[in-house]
Structure 1
């Protein structure tokens, strides 16, 4: 492979996004060696438009938008967490072979059987029928799925995308840009569910850290909604992330949990509004949709978050940035 920037040096970054640190540059038309790939920020370049980034054998990530190769793009394995490079996968089925099906579940037709030990490439993952406690199915290509329960990784399972998921995002460049990004879906949620847009935006700020959390960047989740055994119908999967929980006495502790992953930002806002509008425990809050401050306190009382200061923090944000302005129809 060679770099193809059109003339300028190619930036080599610490991760698969343009806001990550530049660790060095590579001159245009330089031959490079690739070891694995990551699904990252979508980049438009002279070679192609793509969300795939590649880890160089010398370290660091480059966007595939600036790489040239003869013919089709080579199928590289997914990257593991540094310092692990390529992570490969193979069949590890108790019956000696793994069924390839036309969809993510046993109700779908068997297309092929793959023997144990054979390498398989999981192009993306889908949420489907639970097999031996695992609801993830890997796609080997269009209309070809295998249960992840019987796929073994050579190292820790890598980060690879959910099928039909938009590319990871970078945080908004400013608070104003963040509001511009979330205002429309928050207002649409208010129209669809009556949840105040001011509260929705304040929650998005708190839960996503102004869009900077990895849950938001990678899985388009702005509200930290947990899976609790399923996707809820709008999310496309459940991803594991580090988080913090708090006891009733206010003491907080680190833990890991499964959070809903979305195909896009809009789906995250839709799911959030639907949950508040339909779950019985939030029925009291829904009586105060015209009073955002009271609404915030009622969802907190109903157990939306474990932080003892959650409602106070929401109201502070609503007042500081006059988020009430978004409750008015544009």
Structure 2
């Protein structure tokens, strides 16, 4: 008597199910790749931000001691000096600061010690691009000293132009006094300085 075969029959899935499974697996691979790419991008952004913060902290640490020295001689609050240097020079990266050590956007008149640069000023309730002559310095410290002397000596037309800035006992009053004295045309200049001082705790460098 012939034996009956007990071999299991292979399970055959419909073609459409196989296609669905292959598409599903491919989709998982794509999503997984996107997740890995996003994680790598986030990591790169975090690394870049960390490096930028380190450079900003180094910028402050480099200028702070001399800003404190200038306070002892001229009475300018270091927090104001540092905040203006940060804002005016974009952390020392502007062309004016990087090439000519002008950290404060101080203008000049002598062609031998100044350069014509493009800048933006707030005029008639709008920002306009203008060409102006700015002073050239040999070092950042030279620029910082000239900034202090500007506040102490004022301008050619008003020797007491920045007297209220020097008389201020806190950075908020000093920042507002700079605006009133016409140091910058930006109507938000005081609030920008105050925000920088608070964000980076620059008041810690001010003497009592």
What TM-score do the two structures reach when normalised by structure 1? 0.44
Alignment of 1:256-267 (within 5 A): 256-267=131-142
> How far does the alpha carbon of each residue in 1:240-287 deviate from its partner, in whole angstroms, 9 at most, with x for none?
1111011142x0011211100001111100000011112111112222
Higher fraction of strand: 1
**Cα deviations by residue, 1:118-171 (Å, 9 ceiling, x for unpaired):** xxxxxxxxxxxxxxxxxxxxxxxxxxxxxxxxxxxxxxxxxxxxxxxxxxxxx9
State how 1:75-90 maps to structure 2 within 5 Å: none
- Structure 1 stretches of 4+ with a deviation exceeding 6 A read none
Larger Rg: 2
**Alpha-carbon offset, residue 174 of structure 1:** 1.2
1:190 partnered with 2:71? yes
SS at match of 1:243: strand
The answer for the alignment partner of 1:252 in structure 2 is: 127
Match for residue 285 of structure 1? 165
After superposition, the C-alpha distances for 1:201-252 in whole angstroms (9 at most, x for unaligned) are: 000000000110011111111001001x248xxxx71011111011142x00
The two structures, once aligned, show a CA RMSD in angstroms of: 1.9
Q: Is residue 2:175 matched to residue 1:299? A: no
Structure 1 distance, partners of 2:74, 2:101, is 20
Q: Which moved more, 1:184-193 or 1:306-315?
A: 184-193
Partner in structure 1 of residue 199 of structure 2: 320
Q: 3-state DSSP class of the match of 1:254? A: strand
Out of 148, 151, 158, which is 1:273 matched to? 148
Q: What is the count of residue pairs matched by the alignment?
A: 152
Distance 1:266 1:324, change over 3 A: same
Corresponding residue SS for 2:106: coil
Q: Could you say which residue in structure 2 is the equivalent of 1:205?
A: 86
Superposition map of 1:119-158 within 5 A: none
- In structure 2, the gaps of 5 or more residues are 1-51, 155-159
> Is this contact kept in 2: 1:221–1:260, CA < 8 A?
yes
1:172 CA drift (Å): 9.6
CA distance 1:311–1:266, change in 2 (3 Å) = same
Q: For 2:57 and 2:98, how far apart are their aligned partners in 1?
A: 18
Cα distance in 2 between the residues matched to 1:300 and 1:219 = 25
Point out which structure has higher relative CO (alpha carbons under 8 A, 6+ apart): 2
Name the counterpart of 2:58: 177
SS for the counterpart of 1:294 is helix
For 1:255 and 1:191, how far apart are their aligned partners in 2?
Answer: 36
Give how far 1:190 is off: 1.0
Q: CA deviation at 1:173?
A: 5.9
